Amino acid sequence: MLINVPETVVADALRGMAAAYPDLTVDVENRVIVRRDAPVAGQVGLVSGGGSGHEPLHGGFVGPGMLSAACPGEVFTSPVPDQMARAAAAVDSGAGVLFIVKNYTGDVLNFDMAAELAEDEGVQVAKVLVNDDVAVTDSLYTAGRRGTGGTLFVEKIAGAAAAEGRTLERVESIARQVNENSRSFGVALSACTTPAKGSPTFDLPDGELELGIGIHGEPGRERRPMMTSGEIADFAVNAILEDMPPSSPVLVLVNGMGATPLLELFGFNAEVQRVLRERGVAVARTLVGNYVTSLDMAGTSVTLCQVDEELLRLWDAPVRTPALRWGM
């Protein structure tokens, strides 16, 4: 691994991020990443976070038009409540703060405690739980469905609503709508390796793949012999459409899990688009790349989000973060 020692992986990454993006304020000691112009007068603050190892989620999504702050925990470990409360205080302009929380037990519990701490300090807090994964329920890390690729759609669209000066109640409502309209399915071609463990998180023999994985290296719903890109697209997209038959156009995220080259992701996207055409699903926008990762896992996930005219306009609205940039 390209590291010094496992114990300093997160701190080293934060120091490097601070050097690369001077428009962010990166507190390495307290592990909080904040847009430099925060708090923005009249705007709801958006705070998210989670274990490290999923980059660019969440720190790479901090900036105008998206998150106000992000809190990185240790690798695959929730940040602590003090981090989140500190972030909320840093971005609160008096309009309130929305916590965007992936449905993993540690994240849920710690964000709940952070909301209490923030409210004790006079910050109005609302929370939205992201639970878009259709693959499994009640997994190793959570009760109910996991929060995965849909997090990107929630953070971007809610961030655009906040940038327009919407109220906390309205930004929360939009974020909930995006989550309700989003579904994801992930596939692993290899397990990931955490810095502390130094070996794969689960055993996946050569010539096999895992269908329905999460973003912490946890196994999925079933294991099969290796499939072609087209066969994987058929399986993943059909699993999503069975759970959510779209009644409107969709945003498509073809996401890499960290070690899959863009050459393969673009080829996989061609197959995803084929399945959607065959199923009569209209595609409004498509994003391809590594956005919600699992360290060095080879694999992909597909996320679909149904959008109306307002949600599509908010998706297209300007954004300037390390990982997403358009319109500015």
Residues designated as active site: 54, 216
Distance CA 304, CA 297 (A): 21
Any idea which residue has 């999460």 for tokens? Answer: 214
Query: Residue 186 in contact with residue 257, Cβ under 8 Å?
Result: yes
The number of beta carbons lying within 10 Å of the beta carbon of residue 116 is 11
Q: Which string of DSSP letters, residue by residue, matches 248-269?
A: S-EEEEEEE-BS--HHHHHHHH
Distance CA 158, CA 24 (A): 20
Distance CA 56, CA 185 (A): 19
Name every residue whose Cβ is closer than 8 Å to that of residue 282 and which is 6 or more positions away in sequence: 246, 248, 249, 250
- Using DSSP's 3-state secondary structure scheme, residue 134 falls into coil
Alpha-carbon torsion 253, 257, 260, 262, what sign?
positive
**Tokens, residue 252:** 């498509």
